Amino acid sequence: MKIIKYPGKEDWKEILKRPALNTESLNDTVKGILNRVKTEGDKAVLECEATFDKVQLASLAVSADEIEEAESLISDDLKAAIILAKENIETFHSAQRFTGKKVETRPGVVCWQKAVGIEKVGLYVPGGTAPLFSTVLMLATPARIAGCKEIVLCTPPNREGKVHPAILFAANLAGVNKIFKAGGVQAIGAMAYGTESVPKVYKIFGPGNQYVTAAKQLVSLRDVAIDMPAGPSEVEVLADQSANPAFVAADLLSQAEHGIDSQAVLITTSEELIEKVCAEVESQLAQLPRKEIAAKSLDNSKLILVNDMDEAISMTNEYAPEHLIIETANYMEVAEQITNAGSVFLGSLTPESAGDYASGTNHTLPTNGYAKAYSGVSLDSFIRKITFQEITSQGIQTIGPAIETMAANEQLDAHKNAVTVRLNSLK
């Protein structure tokens, strides 16, 4: 890990750069696959599965028998853990329900909003180097609470044509309607355009590799909405001399094992902490089954020493991390000054892993600095708000003249006339 001491503000931009994710270079390949799926449907998806996932599938749909079998293939401990996590995610997201309020903006002019679930949503859950059954809970649970009528899930199968049983168990528990064996670009295309098997959806959610990211961006241009731009996962630990170096190292490594393009950053006011964290990282890394992946990821990672906590906070807000862990003596005071972050973890006993799995918050979060403008997935991500208004005779007489004046000055006489005819009818 690269150690940087007391950088000048003019160097922050370069220091805080993420690992490059240039999806534009993939666009020709991705467009080719998307076009095939759009025109050939299931046939193209099945052929892509044979090419990319090395599996010959008779059909894309996961059967009821496979879902039933999955429950018997995972341990009771894992089932109990998934159920606990789902309950906490449900509790947290249920509290986000929107209650519309009628507002009388002028006598006789009443406006209000109504929240409506997106009817059809598509969830993408990577298989890859780890079966992310936790992502199933993070996406399907709020979708069901929001009232989405059709919840479709795509996830790549293994070479035997099976989906990881924990993914199937979580999907069934969280209320997914249809599950399909499809990964990568072909899965995004299937949900964006619809095939003989896979329904077309209105919005696609979920993480993925750079090909999935490029596919989501391309289909979002005209065919379907997506949750947010996304890149490799990242964490920042903001710490002072009171932080436990073993905890800090564990947090950095838990991020690093996601993938070789993940990034872990420590910003601290304590040079002694950096030295101790380096030693702890080496010690803990040696024990990890995924140590090769984590070690490559650490090449993107930085330990940054700054002059004081004000500078640490300012640098943090500039970085806008996906995950921010604050391990300082006065972490609540520091947290109040954080304006740019996806999800924040407070105090020495709150690891990022808690939010990744079971505390209740959502782990689908903006990366690559998008936390400056985007929120993570929440109940709002699965709903639309429709506005309503009702105007009485008193109301149209109150605001009508203002509408007429504004329309006339914009030279939109038909707009003006729509009010004028009503006012004349009341004379």
Output phi, psi for 153, to 5 deg: -125, 130
Query: What is the reported pLDDT for 260?
Result: 80
Nearest to 373 by CA among 339, 337, 334, 325: 339
* CA distance to 45, 151, 283, 363, 373, per residue, from 165 (Å): 22, 19, 33, 21, 36
Query: What is the reported pLDDT for 300?
Result: 84
This prediction's pTM: 0.94
258 is in an annotated binding site: yes
Q: In what order do the strands lie in the sheet with 178-181?
A: 178-181, 150-155, 120-124, 203-205, 225-226
Going from the first residue of the chain to its last (427 residues), give the mean pLDDT of each consecutive group of 10, the final group possibly shorter. Answer: 95 90 80 98 98 95 97 96 98 96 98 98 86 96 98 96 96 98 97 98 93 94 92 92 97 87 94 97 91 86 97 98 97 98 98 97 94 97 98 98 98 98 97
CA-CA distance, 9 to 15, in Å (whole number)? 10
Domains of the chain and CATH, by start: 2-20+231-360 (3.40.50.1980), 23-226 (3.40.50.1980), 392-425 (1.20.5.1300)
CA-CA distance, 276 to 63, in Å (whole number)? 52
254 is in an annotated binding site: no
368 is in an annotated binding site: no
Q: In what order do the strands lie in the sheet with 302-305?
A: 2-5, 302-305, 263-268, 234-239, 323-327, 343-346
* CA distance to 11, 135, 319, 335, 343, per residue, from 236 (Å): 18, 21, 9, 13, 11
Q: Which residues pair with 390 in a beta bridge?
A: 110
Query: What is the reported pLDDT for 43?
Result: 98
Q: Which residues are identified as catalytic? A: 322-323
- 165-174 helix and 64-73 helix, angle to the nearest 10 degrees: 110
Query: Positive or negative, the Cα torsion across 28, 34, 39, 41?
Result: positive
234 is in an annotated binding site: no
SS3 321: coil
186 is in an annotated binding site: yes
93 is in an annotated binding site: no
Q: Cβ(364)–Cβ(227) under 8 Å?
A: yes
Nearest to 215 by CA among 377, 2, 10, 27: 27
327 is in an annotated binding site: no
Q: Cβ(171)–Cβ(134) under 8 Å?
A: no
Q: Cβ(92)–Cβ(360) under 8 Å?
A: yes
Q: Which residues pair with 384 in a beta bridge?
A: 116
DSSP secondary structure of 261-281: T-EEEEEES-HHHHHHHHHHH
Query: What is the reported pLDDT for 129?
Result: 63
Give 14-51 as a 3 state SS string. Answer: HHCCCCCCCHHHHHHHHHHHHHHHHHHCHHHHHHHHHH
Greatest distance between any 2 Cα atoms in the chain: 86
Query: What is the reported pLDDT for 128?
Result: 63
What is the length of the chain?
A: 427
